[in-house]
């Protein structure tokens, strides 16, 4: 995986946490959650819809206490970071 994609994923997870769109379990960090998303991306089939994919990983993650973001919120964060 390219460093650019990893950087984008890390930025998205950190931004979701900063916007309080994801609550982490005690002791978890946005960086650890980003690592989990990146690991899931390594085994995922074609990566076409980033927002729904990231949402799915976050929903299944034991690091996440509560996800307040919807697919469109995650897509918005991706777009904000890309502009």
Bridge partners of 24, per DSSP, are 64
Residues in the chain: 83
For the question of whether the overall pTM of this predicted structure is more than 0.85, the answer is: no
Q: For each successive 10 residues of the chain (83 residues), what is the average pLDDT?
A: 84 95 96 93 70 90 94 86 71
Q: What are the structural domain ranges in the chain?
A: 3-82
Q: In Å, what is the CA distance from 65 to each residue of 22, 28, 60?
A: 8, 10, 10
pLDDT at 64: 96
């Amino acid at each position: 995986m390219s460093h650019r994609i990893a950087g984008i994923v890390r930025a998205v997870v950190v931004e979701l946490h900063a916007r309080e769109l994801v609550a982490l379990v005690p002791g978890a960090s946005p960086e650890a959650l980003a690592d989990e998303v990146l690991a899931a991306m390594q085994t995922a089939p074609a990566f076409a819809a980033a927002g729904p994919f990231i949402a799915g990983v976050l929903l299944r993650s034991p690091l996440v206490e509560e996800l307040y973001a919807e697919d469109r919120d995650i897509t918005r964060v991706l777009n904000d970071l890309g502009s």
